[in-house]
Structure 1
Amino acid sequence: MKKVILSVLLFCVMASCSTTVMAADTCEVVLCMYGKATGNGGGSECHSAERAFFNIVKKNRHGFLPDHTADARKSFLLECDSAAPAAISQIISKYGPVRG
């Protein structure tokens, strides 16, 4: 009985944690990646934002899909309403199809 209760409790905790939770806010990712794209990196404060961006990877059984990865990263960056489309385009053109 204890194992069942612990299993249900563990399942509930895991279910409450969203799998899409990112370490960094979308707008923070846009800001840090734009700085990186223009040569003004944000230093250690941007590591989690850069990691969140480069962790978006699309693959199939044949390997890495650069165009699908770029599309997924672009749609992630577009979640930041205050980001300029030109900034997002610049980020995607430089880092969109790149492996992390």
Structure 2
Amino acid sequence: MKKVILSLLFLGVMASCSTSAMAADACEVVLCMYGKTTGNSGSSECHSAERAFFNIVKENKHGFLPDHTADARKSFLLECDSADPAAISQVISKYGRVRG
């Protein structure tokens, strides 16, 4: 019984560590995507942030849902409290409904 509990605890810790290490910071994504929107392509440091943004995709059995994808991407960007809402709106209007 102790081995089962310890194994589950260990797996839980490993899952939370790998998720947080791979998760992109919303503020970094806002900064990079806003730069992309205004024509200032980010350096190689923005590739992971852009990938994180474009990996947010909503689909159903009929395919890609652009409005739901835009809403999900906007919700993610709004996690950055210091981001300008106008900048977020500009990013979403240009890239929110774009597929990958």
Q: TM-score range by the shorter chain?
A: 0.7 to 0.9
- Looking at structure 2, the residues matched to 22 and 56 of structure 1 have their Cα atoms a distance apart, in angstroms, of 14
After superposing on structure 2, the runs of 4+ consecutive aligned residues of structure 1 that deviate more than 6 Å are none
What does 1:1-100 align with in structure 2 at a 5 Å threshold?
8=8, 11-12=11-12, 15-17=15-17, 22-100=22-100
Structure 1: stretches of 5+ with no match in the other structure: none
- Looking at structure 2, the residues matched to 48 and 17 of structure 1 have their Cα atoms a distance apart, in angstroms, of 18
Structure 2: stretches of 5+ with no match in the other structure: none
**Cα RMSD over matched residues?**
2.4
- Looking at structure 1, the residues matched to 51 and 66 of structure 2 have their Cα atoms a distance apart, in angstroms, of 17
- What TM-score, normalized to structure 2? 0.82
- Looking at structure 2, the residues matched to 72 and 12 of structure 1 have their Cα atoms a distance apart, in angstroms, of 26
- What TM-score, normalized to structure 1? 0.82
| TM-aligned CA distance change 1:22 to 1:89, over 3 Å | farther
